[in-house]
A and B are shown apart, each in its own frame.
Chain A
Amino acid sequence: MKKHKTSGKPAYYMESVPKMKKIMRNYYLKAKYARYLGKKVAWITSGGPVEPLIAMGIIPVYPENHGAMIGVSHTGVELCEVAEGMGYSGDLCSYARADIGASETGGGPIGGLPKPDMLICCNNICGTVLKWYEIQARKFQVPLFILDTPFVHTEFTKEAKTYVDRQVKDYIRFLETAMKKKFPYDKMNVVGKRSVEAMRLWQQVLNTATAKPAPFTAFDAFFHLALIVTLRGTKTVLRYYRFLLDELNQRVEKGIGMVENEQYRFLWDNLPIWHRMRWLSRAFAARNAALVADTYTSAWCGTVDNIDENDFLGSMGEAYTRIYLNIGVDQMAEKVLNMIDKYDVDGLVMHSNRSCKPYSFGQYDIQRIVQRERGLPVLILESDMVDARKFSEGQVETRIDAFMEMVGQK
């Protein structure tokens, strides 16, 4: 691939990668053996408030992250088929299908997730998680806490604020009951501050891709994302992202790009197509194109400004309600336009993801807004993040070529 070498390593090599893999391996190992470590496990949605769990010493586990690993390891189709055999429609979110399949068979790259002691579901990302967690609550017969975050079509109303703030208190009570101990508010302060710092670091990490050439791409961001999702609020995350940020800054200083001859820069929208990550990254790189940023990974730092780090619990209701997927299509388009400017891209690549309706419906309108406001070409790839049956290499390749032609004419 790369001829551009630094200290004997190819330019795409990053020291952070093995480090990250090690942290994740340890984390999953700990989660899988939680019982023997005297720890409780909570399954939580990716947009859910993990910080109180960390403060409580509960191990958070993310079925969606597991879904991503299933996608990457190409076990998605077989696990989805298990769920379909149980009666789940093939049109439902493939994270949910894969997770339901895996909890039935113990299949997938890590032999299934450890059994939950409780379930924490925040519907700020979708209504799917609500149904999915209801199913798992019935299956595992464990308590389910729901943080219900009203959708912010145009405004975050004062009654919605009262509503979510009250539920934050319910959440703490839920944890106290589940753990039969008092909630450690002082620890929470520390965790809250760390979480905010982690989000800021993650934002800085993503910011490095404003450099030309970009020191890493969205495909790398998808990989490094796992920690901000799963271990936000811990020291490990801070240490790791500082290391990653250093490495990326060095690459920027040395002018090392992830894509050789970066000629075109694109913005990616929606979840990754986990089962075609390498294929897609090569397909774009071969055309001298770098996907320098995406709307997905930035969701985990997008509302950092709504958090008061000195009053995490008091401000988290609002922060968790105003995340990217819980806002109106026009607000999303606004963010897309900002990213287009910030990362100075030449086009937008949208993954129309059959699994994720809240992310995908509205994309066509965002496409029109982008074309109108910035005159940029937009490529729409219809696929699915985990279910590889919904991907056709030939078709995607043709569409990428047509898109590159348009970009080239600009």
Chain B
Amino acid sequence: MNPTEIIEQFRIAVRDPFGTARTIREGQNRPVVGYTCTYFPEEIVLAAGAHPFRLFGKSTVMLKTDAHIQAYGCSLARAVFEDALSGELDFLDVMAFPHSCDTMQRLSDIWRLNIKNTVHLDLLFPVHLKSEAAQDYMEAVLERFRKGMEQVFQVDISKDAMQNAISLMNRIRASLTALYKLRAAHSASISGSDLSHVVQGAMILDRLEVADKLEALVSALKGTHTPTRTAPAKRVLLSGSVCLHPDIHTIIEEQGGAVAWDDLCTGSRYFDVQVPEDLPPIPAIAKRFLNRAICPAKHGGTTRRGGDLLKLISTHRIDGVIFLFLKFCDPHGFDYPDLKTALETAGIPTLFLEVETGKPVDGPTRTRVETFLQILNQREAAL
């Protein structure tokens, strides 16, 4: 299969996630476990013989959610719930809510009270990831979830099954990292929009298929060097929560820039850091969660996110950062001003964009991105 064909399969999954999940459920006779956040142990679901399925919120018109969540809830939470209320998610056997922000926490309650045909599970992960007590507690929460999966699906999850699932997810994470690196080196002909679809699709499609396809994609792309551009593109980092707006990439690319890296939870935060394969499975998964790139809804020290961001900037030689947030998102909203100051002190220009899922990038936003890229380009000329 050539790269274009592989990428197209990921694109199809993103366009029709529910159809994709139904096919897996019916075709492979595997139960589906929905989840909402990258702090989710997909390995345990896989080891239980089920399919982990990330929800991104497909609905664009809120007909039923308005009766449950106020309009000042973020569009992700509202869209995901609209999907549920309108029956689009009736293929889910289990709905799992890893603890993240206040909005998701309440969505879990509201979901439990209103959606009756799925098994409901909460994963009450620690918020403070740096305390000594957090490691043990994280493991206990994972262990409870493992038992929960056993109970719901009436299976015994063997250690081998866990180890296999960990290897499988590590393969996916390794390939996604490789793709990002190829992309960052500008040596692969994969557009930012394509890559964004690939990461999202990886959270939707059957994971074994994903692992195989990604490996094929990496080796196919490794051979294809794009002709060297005359002027090296401006390297942008996208920072924020979920990005369901692949057209942002296109706008950036149209201006001669490229997204060289991101810290999105529909991006690098999904595959950052491997699960160590030489540890017992549960402590190993816990370890990854404690060490991977942190989400602003968690605490890993007061300067952790700023430090991580600056590290990414220097590793990937970033010229400018675009913050991409969902309106009404508290965790990101609180981090933004200090991050912006830290970056500007380091001489990195930033742009702030507020978007809503299900709404296309509007004219003014497009203009702002274009202007930002023009400024980055001029900066080069002035230096």
Alpha-carbon distance A269/B302, docked complex (angstroms): 34
Q: A131-B296, A159-B137, A358-B102 are in contact. Are A330 and B330 (CB under 8 A)?
A: no
**Count of interface residues, chain B, beta-carbon cutoff 8 Å:** 51
Q: How far is the CA of A86 from the CA of B340 in the complex (A)?
A: 10
A134 at the interface (CB under 8 A from B): yes
What 1/0 flags go to B125-146 for Cβ under 8 Å of A?
Answer: 0111001111011001100100
> Judging by beta carbons under 8 Å apart, are A362 and B99 in contact?
no
A157 to B143, CA, bound (A): 12
Task: Quote the shortest CB–CB distance from A160 to chain B (angstroms).
Answer: 6
Across-interface contacts of B276 in A (CB, < 8 A): none
Q: Shortest CB–CB separation between residue B25 and chain A, in angstroms? A: 26
CB distance from A100 to the nearest CB of B (A): 9
Stretch at the interface among B27-35, B68-76, B173-181: B68-76
The reply to whether the CB of A328 lies closer than 8 angstroms to some CB of chain B is yes
Kindly list chain B residues whose C-beta atoms are within 8 Å of the C-beta of A330.
109, 112-113
**Within A120-176, which residues are at the interface with B (CB < 8 Å)?**
123, 126-128, 130-132, 134-135, 137-138, 144, 146, 148, 150-151, 153-154, 157, 159-160, 162-163, 166-167, 170
In the complex, which of the residues B106, B137, B334 contacts A132, with contact meaning CB atoms closer than 8 Å?
A: B334
Known contacts A159-B140, A159-B144, A365-B68, A130 near B114 by CB under 8 Å: no
Q: Does B303 contact A (CB under 8 A)?
A: yes
Shortest Cβ gap from B118 to chain A (Å): 15
> Which B residues, 91 to 106, have Cβ-Cβ distances below 8 Å to chain A?
99, 101-103, 105-106
Within 8 Å of chain B (Cβ to Cβ): is A360? yes
Closest approach, in angstroms, between the C-beta of A361 and any C-beta of chain B? 4
Q: Which of A93, A167, A365 contacts B113 (CB 8 A)?
A: A365
In the complex, chain A residues whose CB is within 8 Å of the CB of B330 = 91-93, 127-128, 131, 357
| CB of A403 within 8 Å of the partner chain | no
Mask, A92-132, CB within 8 Å of B = 1, is 11001000000000000000000000000001001110111
The one of B67, B126, B140, B334 in contact with A92, judged by C-beta atoms closer than 8 angstroms, is B334
- Within 299-332 of B, Cβ neighbours of A (below 8 Å) are at 299, 302-303, 327-328, 330-331
State which of A87, A89, A135, A361 has its C-beta within 8 Å of the C-beta of B340. A87
Q: Assess the A137–B106 pair: CB atoms within 8 A.
A: no
In the complex, A137 Cα to B263 Cα: how many Å?
A: 24
User: What A residues does B337 contact at CB under 8 A?
Assistant: 86-88
A162 contacts across to B, CB distance below 8 A: 136-137, 140
A358 CB contact (under 8 Å) in B67, B106, B112, B134: B106
Distance in Å from the Cβ of B97 to the closest Cβ of chain A?
Answer: 8
Residues of B within 8 A of A328 (CB): 109, 112
Provide the bound-state CA to CA distance between A144 and B302, in Å: 9
Assuming the contacts A89-B333, A130-B299, A153-B122, asked whether A357 and B133 have C-beta atoms less than 8 A apart, the reply is: no
Any A CB within 8 A of the CB of B165 = no
Residue B156 interfacial (CB < 8 Å): no
Do A91 and B328 contact each other (CB < 8 Å), given the known contacts A128-B334, A146-B299? yes
- The size bracket of the interface on A is 35 or more
The answer to the question of A352 belonging to the interface, with a C-beta cut-off of 8 Å to chain B, is yes
In the complex, the chain A residue whose C-beta lies closest to that of B297 is A127
- A144 contacts across to B, CB distance below 8 A: 302
A279 within 8 A of B: no
Q: Does A364 contact B (CB under 8 A)?
A: yes
Q: Separation in Å of the B188 CB from the closest CB of chain A?
A: 35
Q: Which residue of chain B has its CB nearest to the CB of A86?
A: B337
Closest to B342 in A: A138
Decide if B220 is an interface residue (CB 8 Å cutoff).
no
CA distance A314 to B48 in the complex (A): 38
Candidates B102, B127, B128, B144; contact of A357 at CB < 8 Å: B102
Select from chain A the residue with minimum beta-carbon distance to B339. Answer: A87
B239 within 8 A of A: no
| Closest B residue, CB atoms, query A156 | B124
Q: Does A344 contact B (CB under 8 A)?
A: no
> Which residues of chain A (342-360) have a CB below 8 Å from chain B?
352, 354, 357-358, 360
Q: How far is B20's CA from A90's CA once the two chains are assembled, in angstroms? A: 39
Instruction: Return chain B residues, CB-CB under 8 Å to A220.
Output: none
Main secondary structure of the interface of B (DSSP, over half): helix
**Chain B neighbourhood of A89, CB < 8 A:** 333, 336, 354
Contacts of A81 in B (CB 8 A): none
Are A87's CB and B336's CB within 8 A? Answer: yes
What's the minimum C-beta distance from A170 to chain B, rounded to whole angstroms? Answer: 7
Query: Judging by beta carbons under 8 Å apart, are B106 and A361 in contact?
Result: yes
A360-B110 Cα distance, complex, nearest whole Å: 12
For A150, list chain B residues within 8 Å (CB).
99, 124, 126, 137
Determine if A329 is an interface residue (Cβ-Cβ < 8 Å).
yes
**Is A262 in contact with chain B by the CB < 8 A criterion?**
no
Among the listed B109, B114, B303, B327, which residue makes an inter-chain contact with A138, where contact means beta carbons less than 8 Å apart? B303
Best-surrounded residue of B127, B335, B340 (most CB of chain A within 10 A): B127
Q: Does B190 contact A (CB under 8 A)?
A: no
Complex partner residue of A88 from B70, B99, B101, B333, CB under 8 angstroms: B333
Tell me, rounded to whole Å, the shortest Cβ–Cβ distance linking A146 to chain B: 5
Chain A residues closer than 8 Å to B112, beta-carbon distance: 153-154, 328, 330
Proximity bits, A51-79, B CB within 8 Å = 1, else 0: 00000000000000000000000000000
Contact A167 B133 (CB under 8 A): yes
Contact present for A358 and B105 (CB under 8 Å): yes
Report the separation of the CA atoms of residues A88 and B122 in the bound assembly, to the nearest whole angstrom.
31
Q: Which residues from chain B contact A308 at a C-beta distance below 8 Å? A: none
Let me know if A361 and B334 touch, CB within 8 A: no
- For residue B289, give the distance in angstroms from its CB to the closest CB of chain A: 14
> Contact partner of A163 among B69, B72, B137, CB < 8 A?
B137
- Asked whether A166 lies within 8 Å of B133 as measured between CB atoms, the reply is yes
State whether A131 touches B113 (Cβ < 8 A): no
Q: Is A247 an interface residue (CB 8 A)?
A: no
Contact B334 A88 (CB under 8 A): yes
When A and B form their complex, which 7 residue pairs have the shortest distance between CB atoms, in order from nearest?
A131-B334, A87-B337, A159-B140, A361-B106, A329-B109, A163-B137, A148-B128
Given A138-B302, A151-B124, A357-B73, 10 other A-B residues pairs in contact with their CB atoms under 8 A:
A127-B102, A127-B331, A128-B330, A131-B335, A135-B338, A146-B127, A163-B136, A328-B112, A362-B110, A365-B68
The 26 listed contacts between A and B (C-beta, < 8 Å) are A86-B337, A89-B333, A89-B336, A91-B328, A92-B334, A127-B297, A131-B331, A135-B334, A135-B338, A138-B303, A148-B126, A148-B134, A151-B99, A153-B109, A154-B112, A159-B141, A162-B140, A170-B131, A329-B113, A357-B73, A357-B102, A361-B102, A361-B107, A364-B67, A365-B109, A365-B110
